[in-house]
Amino acid sequence: MNQQSLSVREAIIERRSIKKFNGQPVDREVLLQIVNDAVWAPNHQNREPWRLVVACGKEILELHKLLRDTAIPKWKELPEETLEKQMLKFTLPGAYAFVIVPEDVRQKQRLEDYAAASMFIQNIQLLAWDYGIGSCWKTPDFLDAPQFREALGVKSGERIISMLQIGYFDDIPRAAERKKSDEIVTFFGQNEENN
Ligand SMILES: Cc1cc2nc3c(=O)[nH]c(=O)nc-3n(C[C@H](O)[C@H](O)[C@H](O)COP(=O)(O)O)c2cc1C
Structural contact between residues 65 and 103, judged by C-beta atoms closer than 8 angstroms: no
- 3-class secondary structure, 139: coil
How much distance in Å is there from the Cα of 176 to the middle of ligand 1?
A: 11
Handedness of CA 112, 40, 51, 97 (dihedral sign): positive
- pLDDT on residue 75: 83
Degrees (nearest 5) of the Cα angle 32, 33, 36?
85
Confidence of residue 166 (pLDDT cuts 50, 70, 90): very high
- Distance, CA of 184 to chain centre: 26
Query: Measuring CA to CA, which residue among 60, 54, 133 is closest to residue 91?
Result: 60
Confidence of residue 40 (pLDDT cuts 50, 70, 90): very high
Q: CATH number of the domain at 24-171, out of 3.30.470.10, 3.40.50.150, 3.40.109.10, 3.40.50.2000?
A: 3.40.109.10
How much distance in Å is there from the Cα of 15 to the middle of ligand 1?
A: 12
Closest C-alpha to ligand 1, atom 30: 137
Residue type, 147: Q
Interatomic CA distance for residues 177 and 151, integer angstroms:
39
- pLDDT on residue 111: 98
Closest C-alpha to ligand 1, atom 28: 137
Question: What are residue 99's phi and psi, to 5 degrees?
Answer: -95, 125
- pLDDT on residue 195: 52
Structural contact between residues 48 and 95, judged by C-beta atoms closer than 8 angstroms: no
Question: What are residue 191's phi and psi, to 5 degrees?
Answer: -70, 150
Beta bridge partners of 163: 98, 138
Average pLDDT over residues 145-157: 96
* pLDDT over threshold 60, residue 163: yes
- The 10s digit of each residue's pLDDT in 115-147 is 999 999 999 999 999 999 999 999 999 999 999
Interatomic CA distance for residues 175 and 178, integer angstroms:
8
pLDDT, the chain, mean: 95
Residues with CB under 6 A from ligand 1: 16-17, 19, 136-139, 175
How much distance in Å is there from the Cα of 108 to the middle of ligand 1?
A: 25
Task: Compute the radius of gyration of the chain from its Cα atoms.
Answer: 19
Task: Give me the residue spans of the domains in the chain.
Answer: 24-171
